[in-house]
Amino acid sequence: MAFIELKEVFYRYPESEEWVLKGVNLSVGSEKVVITGRTGSGKTTLLRVMSGVALKVYGGELRGEVLIDGRVAYVPQEFDLYILMPTPREELTYILSAQNLGLNDVEVRIREISELLGIKELLDRRVVKLSMGERQRVAIASAIALNPEILILDEPFAHIDPKGAVDLVRLLSNLGVSTLVISEHKLRYLANIIDRIVVLRDGTVVYSGSLEGAPKDPDIEWPLSMLRW
Amino acid sequence: MRLRVSIHPVTGFISVVWVLTSLYMGYVLSAFVLSLILTILLVMSKGVKEVVNLLKLYAWLVIPPFIILTIMYTPLEALDMSIRLLTIALVFTNVLQLITPLELTYTLMRLRIPTTASLAIPMVIRLSEYMGYIVNETLIALRGRGLRRRKLLMSLPIPLVVHTIKSSTQLAEALTQKTFRNVNLVLGKPKVGLTDTLIYLYIVLMTLKYLLII
Amino acid sequence: MAFKYVEVVSLAKIELIDVWYKDILKGINLRVNDGIVALVGPNGAGKTTILKVMVKALKPDRGSVVAPEKVGSSWQNPYYSFTKPTVLEEFLEYLGSVEEVEEFLGSYGLKHLLNRYTFKLSVGQARLVSILLAVVWGPEALVIDEPTNGLSLRERYAVSRLLRSIKIPVVIASHDLDFILMTSDYVYVVNDGHIVCEGNTLDVFYSDVLQHIGFPEPEVVRIGKELGLRLRSVDEVKS
């Protein structure tokens, strides 16, 4: 069973005096978790630490314990350059090729993933010519191709339209990834699929539990049906 | 209707070598014809509009030398030089555009070139397309605040540099997750097709013609 | 009886007449006179392409475009508009003195952004500054692509307020239905390269056009319907 555990984690970026994460205690198992908080609360930094990318790419200083058990795929909020190859097919081929699959298996897997994400017609188009919604689906397909046990998405609903959001929610519930971590402040679409919500404020976890019981910070977009009249 | 036309990387390589050799030996016209054949294949694959834009670019490459050479020498010699120039330009770019990156990568890996170097090729293509996209978007944004001509060009570097730096962290995040030790590239094995046969046929016929004349 | 031949001259500031572009736009007709006009539709419907045609960044394959010489614009990534380290320096180019810049920003309630670093602004603040940059050089119209992408609720209110205080006609492309509802007077619904419907914002939102193109009903409209109320625009109330 894959999990990520953070114990008393402090993190700051290089050349910065301020700690962005100030004593985060969090453990995530086989569940769908949404991490929310207002802008500047440290959501993106938390995701970077949880995926192991923070120290490798940004450096900085990390205190406390971070335990990552399982294969992690992390799709950042700016996902343009998450896709490394000129066409989606080449991208999927590249990633699947590294998993020692035979020719047939790779082709089958490409078909499966592109059907799941609805990108079958886009496979041979240039990524740079795709619309943003299409690129996002390709980015998520690319992450799925890594065969992760833990999928981490940073604000996937930030740029998509309401129709795309509905499709994305359906997709996320059918993905078959055991652990899903999403950072979002637009919660109205996610209400029905998540198991737990974690509220981050000023670098620490102030709440972890069900959606109903969470403190209703006005800067976060709660589903309107959830607000008391 | 666009057909997916592509040539085997080895065919591309042989075409380039043959064209350069023919030019060196003085058989300008047949070399030029091969580069025209490749141009027609490119039109079939990418459509007329894109290729016409490319040709406009080449006009800039070829016409000024033609004018200068006509003044310095004779029109015939100038024409000869211009056609040589055009042939070289056409054959290189057409071959590069008719080979798919994945097949090129596969071929290089078969030639025992290290994985990182081979995979760098499609990645560089992706990056350059992305940079082109950023330049375009930045230009449109800067025009939206009234910058034109000289001011526009002078203001371009700063946002581009800033965005390149931001892009580099994005790229680093992706690469930490997607660098692998053994990439066993199973897909991307190039197939020899009709277009390759056509090109080889032409090359063989022309070469025989030279040899018989000799 | 004498007949006079009267030629009807289009008074529209921006007009697209039967515009086709590749496989993206398929016969677009629209006019913008004044106020705030929104293009609403899903991603990939052609909204951004329509805006690019309006600012003459793209040439239509068929049809014609009427637009003024000077059209300001702010696009999907607001940071692309920045060329100087601080907000002050950005506007100094156009306004000449620090006091004038202060006054300009102050008139939109944004004086607090005067000495901030442009590339370090939050997305919402960057959007506000980008819109002001699109306006400060005196264009006759303004075009904005997805102004609320990535913005928090509060920042969206700020952008809406800013846009409503701008005097020139504004065209917004957006899929943010609640934002459109509080900001724009007139709406064109765009789907798959066509204009599917147009009209007063409230009328369009109360019809089921949006559901037909796959959008869920805006929450405010849904609640209004559940409560048996019909939202009225400010003009309706005044008249």
pLDDT in tens, B140-172: 999 999 998 888 989 999 999 999 888 998 999
At residue C160, the pLDDT reads 94
Chain C contact set for A164 (CB, 8 A):
42-43
The answer to whether the CB atoms of C81 and B162 lie below 8 A apart is no
Cα separation, C88 vs C129, whole angstroms: 11
ipTM computed for the complex? 0.85
pLDDT tens-digit series, residues A4-15: 999 999 999 998
Separation CA C215–CA C181 (nearest Å): 14
> Which B positions 133-192 lie with beta carbon below 8 A of chain A?
133, 166-167, 169-178, 180-188
The pLDDT of residue A153 is 95
In a domain, B185, yes or no: no
> What is the total count of domains within chain B?
2
Residue A93 reports pLDDT greater than 90: no
CB contact under 8 Å between C73 and B140, yes or no, is yes
Instruction: Determine the angle formed by the axes of helices B48-72 and B75-98, rounding to 10 degrees.
Output: 150
Same domain, B37 and B13: yes
Q: Give the model's pLDDT for residue C223.
A: 79
Average pLDDT score, chain B: 86
Q: Is C206 helix (H, G, I), strand (E, B) or coil?
A: helix
Below-50 pLDDT ranges, chain C: 1, 6-8
- CA distances from residue B50 to A200, A210, B39 in whole angstroms, order as listed: 51, 55, 11
pLDDT 10s digits, B90-147: 999 888 888 887 788 888 888 888 777 888 888 888 998 999 999 999 999 999 999 9
Chains sharing 3 or more CB pairs under 8 A with chain C: A, B
Strand order in the sheet with A72-75: A72-75, A150-154, A179-183, A32-36, A196-201, A204-209
Predicted pLDDT at B103: 83
Question: Are B13 and B90 in the same domain?
Answer: yes
Q: How far is A28 from A66, CA to CA, in rounded Å?
A: 12
Longest alpha-carbon distance in chain B: 67
Q: In terms of residue numbers, what domain contains B50?
A: 9-100+190-213
pLDDT band at A117 (very low <50, low <70, confident <90, very high): confident
Q: Look at residue B107 and tell me if it is in a domain.
A: no
Share of chain B above pLDDT 90, in %: 26
Inform me whether the pLDDT recorded for A163 exceeds 70.
Answer: yes
A interface with B, Cβ–Cβ < 8 A, is 48, 51-53, 56-58, 72-74, 76, 78, 80-86, 90, 93-95, 97-98, 100-103, 106-107, 124, 126-128, 142, 146
Nearest CB to B158; choose among C76, C77, C83 = C83
Check residue C195 and give its pLDDT: 94
Q: What is the DSSP string of B105-173?
A: HHHHHHTT--HHHHHHHHHHHHHHHHHHHHHHHHHHHHHTTT--HHHHHHHSHHHHHHHHHHHHHHHHH
Buried/exposed code over C100-121 (b: 16+ C-beta within 10 A; e: otherwise): ebeebbeebebeebbebebbeb
Residue-level pLDDT at A229: 45
- Please report which confidence band the pLDDT of residue A26 belongs to, taking 50, 70 and 90 as the band edges: very high
- Shared domain for B13 and B96, answered yes or no, is yes
In the prediction, which pLDDT does B98 show? 86
Mean pLDDT of A107-117: 91
| Closest in C43, C177, C215 to A131, CB measured | C43
| Residues B132, B83 share a domain | no
Q: Can you tell me the mean pLDDT for A154-181? A: 88
Q: Which residues of B sit within 8 Å Cβ distance of C?
A: 137-138, 140-147, 155, 158-159, 162-163
Q: Compute the distance between CA of residue A186 and CA of residue C4 in angstroms, rounded to an integer.
A: 60
Most trustworthy range by pLDDT among A216-225, B61-70, C5-14: B61-70
| Strand ranges, E, within A94-191 | 150-154, 179-183
- Where do the structural domains in chain A lie, given as residue ranges? 83-147
Number of domains, chain C? 1
pLDDT at C1: 47
Going by pLDDT thresholds of 50, 70 and 90, the confidence category of residue B43 is confident
According to the model, what pLDDT value does residue B19 have? 93
| C152 with A39: Cβ contact below 8 A | yes
Domain of C202 in residue numbering reads as 14-70+139-238
What totals of helices (H) and strands (E) does chain B contain, helices first?
Answer: 9, 0
Give the CATH number for residue C210.
3.40.50.300
Same domain, B47 and B83: yes
> Is the residue at C112 inside a domain?
no
Measure in Å the smallest separation between the Cα of A41 and chain C Cα atoms: 13
Write out chain B residues lying below 8 Å of C82, CB-based: 158-159, 162
> What does R_g of chain A's alpha carbons equal in angstroms?
18
Q: Over the stretch A122-155, which tens digit does the pLDDT of each residue have?
A: 998 889 988 888 899 999 999 999 999 999 999 9
Residue C115 covered by a domain: no
Q: Which residues contact A228 (CB under 8 A, 6 or more apart)?
A: none
- Whether B42 shows a pLDDT value over 80: the answer reads yes
In sequence order, which residues have a C-beta less than 8 Å from that of residue B71 and are 6 or more positions away?
none
Residue A110 and residue C35: Cα distance in Å, rounded?
49
What percent of chain A is modeled with pLDDT above 90?
52
Q: How far is CA C10 from CA B101, C64, C66, in A?
A: 51, 13, 9
Note the pLDDT of residue A218: 76
pLDDT average, residue stretch A81-100: 89
Three-state DSSP at A149 gives coil
Helical pair A88-97 and B115-143, crossing angle rounded to 10 deg? 150
* Within-domain flag for C129: no
Q: Does B15 share its domain with B89? A: yes
pLDDT for res A211: 84
B1 part of a folded domain = no
